């Protein structure tokens, strides 16, 4: 039984590795000029499919991604530079279409929120630890209480009331 499980696990692993990444670019989308096609592929790898959200339009198989790939190639053939194509798509769909958003005043909050929260949390944690250590120091026993504690621990007797 163990050998059979191992065999199937290996079979599944080989099948997954053999599949590789499935690229969604269809043959009818490919440009005749290899240099232009390489530019299109590089650009489409930087753009987010708004349907899939965590995939680039280069690997997404959605209709939206196909439309973006076709539009991108159309703009390149028309003579637009890479920057002009990206600006056109950002103007049309917003910054979210970029897989790696630019650092602007609008996105600064998104870029800086995590580090600021971590730093703020660290400051709060340090303050809490210091407050607790001070409270523990202030809670030390007086000499009379220390003698009473030692007597109770030694004799096992009930504490005497003052």
Q: 98-151: per-residue pLDDT in tens?
A: 888 888 887 788 778 889 999 999 999 999 998 887 766 666 777 888 888 888
Largest CA distance in the chain: 100
CB atoms within 10 A of CB 91: 9
Distance, CA of 115 to CA of 97 (rounded, Å) = 24
Q: pLDDT per residue over 66-82, tens digit each?
A: 888 889 888 988 988 98
Per-residue pLDDT for 10 more than 90? no
Mapped onto helix, strand or coil, the DSSP state of residue 142 is coil
> pTM value?
0.53
Tokens of 126: 């340090």
2-97 to CATH, choices 1.10.3720.10, 1.10.10.1100, 1.10.1660.10, 1.10.8.640? 1.10.8.640
Domain ranges of the chain: 2-97, 108-155
Query: What per-residue confidence (pLDDT) applies to 117?
Result: 93
Per-residue pLDDT for 41 more than 80? yes
Query: Which one has a higher pLDDT value, 150 or 28?
Result: 150
Per-residue pLDDT for 21 more than 50? no
């Amino acid at each position: 039984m163990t050998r059979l499980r191992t065999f199937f696990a290996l079979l599944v692993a080989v099948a997954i590795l053999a599949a590789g990444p499935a690229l969604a670019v269809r043959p009818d989308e490919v440009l005749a000029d290899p240099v232009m096609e390489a530019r299109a592929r590089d650009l489409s790898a930087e753009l987010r499919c708004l349907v899939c959200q965590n995939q680039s339009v280069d690997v997404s198989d959605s209709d939206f991604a196909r439309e973006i790939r076709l539009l991108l190639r159309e703009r390149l053939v028309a003579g637009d530079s890479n920057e002009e194509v990206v600006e056109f798509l950002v103007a049309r769909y917003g910054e979210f279409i970029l897989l790696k958003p630019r650092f602007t005043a609008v996105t600064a909050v998104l870029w800086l929120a995590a580090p600021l929260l971590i730093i703020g949390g660290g400051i709060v944690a340090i303050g809490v630890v210091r407050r607790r250590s001070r409270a523990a120091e202030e809670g030390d026993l007086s000499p009379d209480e220390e003698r009473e504690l030692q007597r109770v621990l030694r004799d096992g007797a009930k504490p005497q009331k003052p």
